[in-house]
Amino acid sequence: MSDNTLTRRDTLAALGALGAQDPHSHPPPAAAAKTTGPYKPKVFNERDYKTLAHLCALIIPADEVSGSALDGGAPAYIDLLCSGNEKLKETFLSGLAWLDHTSVKRTGKPFLESSSAEQTALLDLIAYRKNDGAELGPGIRFFDWARRLTVDAFYTSAAGIKDVGYQGNKGMTQFKVPQEAIDYVLKRSPLG
């Protein structure tokens, strides 16, 4: 399964299994760096947490701009919220179980152990509402939650905030808008 090495590495990095020197691991956000040691899940067992982390990294993978959902602390975020909310906990526990069961039915292997191609083939089905039905319905609803919380975790992290390019929360003595931004917008509009 060498075809999904990078995301697997990301998964391990998030779980603290890889050293900080690893050239493929992205620098953790400032806040996460303050915590000591890896996050200890409150809700998920080791196996489910690994699957969850892998799923998060597939939803928000590293690209040329920024790191993955793991750099945004998505698995810890989801585990923490599940620990405080029974409905969310049930959603994720049953969802992960559905994912593994469905993967076994389709490939003979649980999700994490199936090939990258097999994983994306399954996600390509449950990531779209158009496939809703008796067979995929539970997976689609679970994936919607997973995507929602993963996106929230990543884009509220230092990595995600940097990705979209938010530059504020600094304070300034005078509010100035760069002329190039104004010109850019007006020129591209029908009113330019």
Partner 1 sequence: MPEMPSGSLTRRDALFQIQRASPVYDVVVIGSGAGGGTAVHVLTKLGVKVALLEAGPMLNPARDFKEHMWPYQVAHRGAGDHAESYFGRRDFGYFGAPNGYWEMDGEPYTVAPGSEFRWFRSRILGGRTNHYGRISLRFADYDFKPYQFDGLGFDWPVTYDEVAPYYDKAERFIGICGSREGIRSAPDGEFLPPPQPRAHEYLIQKASRKLGIPCIPSRMAILTRPLNGRPACHYCGQCGRGCIPASNYSSSQVQIMPAMKTGNVTVIANAMARELITDDSMRVKAVSYVDTTTRTEKQIRCRSVILAASACESARLLLNSRSSRHANGLANSSGVVGRYLTDTVGYGLSGYVPALEGMPRYDCDGYAGGHLYMPWFELEKKSKEFPRGYHIEIGGGFGMPGVGSFSGVARSHEGYGAGLKKAIRDGYGCTVGFAGRGEMIPNEHSYCDIDPNVVDQWGIPVLRFHFRWSDNELAMVRHMHRTFTSIIETMGGRVHGRRNPERADAGISVPGTIIHELGCVRMGDDASRSALNKWSQAHDVKNLFVADAASFVSNPDKNPTLTICALSWRLSEYLAEELRKGNV
Would you tell me which residues interact with partner 1 (CB under 8 A)? 29-32, 58-61, 63, 65-66, 73, 76-77, 80-82, 84-85, 87-88, 123, 127-129, 143-144, 147-149, 151-153, 155-158, 160-161, 163-178, 180-182, 184-186, 188-192
To the nearest whole angstrom, how small is the minimum distance from the Cβ of residue 123 to partner 1?
A: 6
Amino acid at 115: S
70, 52 Cβ separation under 8 angstroms: no
Two tokens, residue 158: 């230092």
Q: Which is nearer to partner 1, 108 or 114 (CB)?
A: 114
- Least distance between partner 1 and beta carbon 97 (Å): 20
Closer Cβ to partner 1, 51 or 108, answer by number = 51
138, 80, 65, 127 alpha-carbon torsion, rounded to 10°: 0
Minimum CB distance to partner 1, residue 3 (Å): 15
Is the alpha carbon torsion for 120, 126, 94, 59 positive or negative?
positive
CA 166 from chain center: how many Å?
A: 19
Give the C-alpha separation, 183 to 28, whole Å.
36
Instruction: Please identify, using beta-carbon distances, which residue of 73 and 95 lies nearer to partner 1.
Output: 73
Helix, coil or strand: residue 68: coil
* Minimum CB distance to partner 1, residue 60 (Å): 6
Q: Closer CB to partner 1, residue 29 or residue 100? A: 29
